[in-house]
Amino acid sequence: MNFQARLDALKNAIAADLPARLTAAGLADFEEYIADTPRLTDKRQLAVFQGSGIIEIDREEYEVLVHATLPRIEVPTGYLGAIVDSIRSINPTVVGMQTLVSVEYRPLYSGAPPEGGFGSYIEHSLIYIKEFDDCD
């Protein structure tokens, strides 16, 4: 599975799962789900894009970054939980891997961005691994 196919598959899986979680939490859904680097926007956007990757003799490690743009939302706590729960519910085989080994949260900015208004930007780093057997 090539990198873009992995990103598209994960984006589609999150876009299918996350809206119901957000609705249940009383939160608005994202207006855009993209499999690309985040774009400057005033819309609620969830971007899934390539992080780093390592292919070793016995395994592959693959990082995916999930970036949430939340304009006009100062405290994104509910979004954090819903995004993590959604990510954790998705089978790693969706991205051609065996195990999701970590989800790391990175607050990028919360408060008044330089362009005015206020909002939050959240990034999650997902680390997947796939162990190779003797046939790989």
Q: Kindly state whether residue 77 falls inside one of the protein's structural domains.
A: yes
Which residues are registered as beta bridge partners of 100? 128
pLDDT for position 127? 95
What's the structural domain count of the chain?
A: 1
pLDDT for position 63? 95
- Domain with residue 94: its CATH number is 3.30.2000
pLDDT for position 110? 61
Angle between helices 3-24 and 77-89 (to 10 degrees): 130
pLDDT for position 96? 93
Could you tell me the residue range of the domain that residue 47 belongs to?
3-131
pLDDT for position 111? 58
pLDDT for position 28? 94
The ranges of the chain with pLDDT < 70 are: 109-117, 134-136
Q: Kindly state whether residue 136 falls inside one of the protein's structural domains.
A: no
Q: Kindly state whether residue 34 falls inside one of the protein's structural domains.
A: yes
pLDDT for position 65? 95
**pLDDT tens figures, 47-64:** 999 998 888 888 999 999
Residue 18 has φ and ψ, to the nearest 5°, of -65, -40
Q: Kindly state whether residue 84 falls inside one of the protein's structural domains.
A: yes
CA separation for the pair 89, 87 (Å, rounded)? 5
